[in-house]
Amino acid sequence: MTDSSNNSTQTRRIGLASAVFLVIANMLGTGVFTTSGFSLADLGDRNVVLAAWAVGGVLALCGALSYGALARRIPRSGGEYTFLAETVHPLAGFLAGWVSLFAGFTAPIAAAAIGLQVYLGTALGTGDGVRPEWIGTAAIVLAAAMHAVRVESGLVVQNAAVILKLAAIGLFVGLGAYLTGLRPVPPQAIAPAFDLGSFAVTLVWISFAYSGWNAAVYVGGEIIDPDRNLPRSLALGTLTVTVLYLALNAVFLYSAPVADLVGRADIGAVAADALGGPPLRRALSALVGLALFTSISSMVMTGPRVYMQMAHDGLFPRIFRSGDVPTNAIALQAALAIAVVWSTNLAQLFSYIGFMLGISAIATVLGLLSLRWREGPERVPIPGYPWIPIVYVVGTAGASMFLVARKPDEALFGLLTLLAGLPVYAAMQRRSSNRV
């Protein structure tokens, strides 16, 4: 097993409220403001798209409850890297950390930055010879600067932004529901027959929108009273965001004719324009900007903790070992995310991220079940056992298999990412042996 003892020396300064806000900030980002336009193009029916969001919420909650049980048993930083290294094998932990580097944080940060560009590009005049990628780049650099100095100062700014974001989303949902109720629902064409494959691929995209429900486990070594606060933060954050997602998507999907929403990455802006014209569209764009920036900020904070932990365990270059603030790892995270911003698009990122995060989370929940089998229910209690973890594993695995069939290029790229970690692990092992 990997030695994660260094986590015991970390300062525990993140309380329950900050941990919940961290989960919410990680979850409430690009996906909810962009995914439904793509999903509507595949499914063709508002009700089916909304049902997919509900199913995604159930799976996310099952995952959060499972991770909560594991976090109670292993209350240390590092997320899937630490969990799999402890429950399965150091190689499994390393590969989970390797996946986190690319699909867990780099690609989602880039996706949030690209979403920011989509919503704010026109408002900031990027059509006049200014590349929209500079918006995303600036957001990533600002978030990295915030968290590279002191944890407390970054948390204060982030918590305040999350509170403001929740209040603004609640106001928009209430106003949207009121305005939608004043007029007939725009009709949609006859919906195509239900296609399980398309629904499953949509569920993978939506799983990306829900990703982040596990955010608090990446800073488990810094959370006060982790046995109590870690599981609660995962469950409370996930439940809060699930309710918000269903409410937001109901407003988006029923605000305008389906033809105006299909395939739109800025579906929220289209919906706001249909409901309240340019003023409401501008207000929503500002809200999305705030939401996506807090999402970028929270991932820039949590992701580098994984690489710092790997460096402490000798499975990542020593330069990324540091004190309480993983400054070098934050710089690496920012640089990789900026590179992705300038080289890809949202639809490709959704499939890649959803597939890779699904594999990593499935392995982690299976590690939880293995740990319970070895140590017994008294030492590893799991809420709703065995159904909660089984529902998560079966649902996520089923959706991933359909994505492999429908989107083989993204799935293949994900598997190549995983395989690329093997020689890196071997090299780091040799390096550690040579030091001894």
Residue 411 belongs to a domain with what CATH number? 1.20.1740.10
The residues, any chain, with a CB within 8 Å of residue 431's CB and separated by 6 or more, are 314
Q: What's the structural domain count of the chain?
A: 1
CA dihedral over 243, 75, 208, 301, signed as positive or negative: positive
Say what the pLDDT of residue 128 is.
Answer: 53
166: which 2 tokens? 């929740």
Q: Do 71 and 217 touch, CB atoms closer than 8 A? A: yes
- DSSP codes, 55-112: HHHHHHHHHHHHHHHHHHHS--SSTHHHHHHHHT-HHHHHHHHHHIIIIIIIHHHHHH
Say what the pLDDT of residue 156 is.
Answer: 74
Q: Do 91 and 236 touch, CB atoms closer than 8 A? A: no
Q: Do 59 and 211 touch, CB atoms closer than 8 A? A: no
φ and ψ at 14, to 5 degrees?
A: -100, 115
Nearest to 64 by CA among 355, 387, 392, 297: 392
For the chain, which ranges sit under pLDDT 70?
1-11, 121-130, 149-155, 182, 186-191, 323-324, 345-348, 434-436
Q: Do 275 and 261 touch, CB atoms closer than 8 A? A: no
Q: Could you report the per-residue pLDDT of 253-275, keeping only the tens digit for each?
A: 988 888 888 888 888 888 899 88
Bridge partners of residue 293, in order along the sequence: none
Please give the DSSP secondary-structure letter assigned to residue 223: B
**What is the gyration radius of the CA atoms in the chain, in angstroms?**
21
Say what the pLDDT of residue 1 is.
Answer: 42
Q: Could you report the per-residue pLDDT of 171-210, keeping only the tens digit for each?
A: 989 998 888 776 777 666 666 778 888 898 888 888 878 9
Please give the DSSP secondary-structure letter assigned to residue 345: -
What's the maximum distance between 2 C-alpha atoms anywhere in the chain?
73
113: which 2 tokens? 């930055």
pTM equals 0.83
Q: How far is CA 207 from the centre of its chain?
A: 8
Residue span of the structural domain in which 170 resides? 5-435
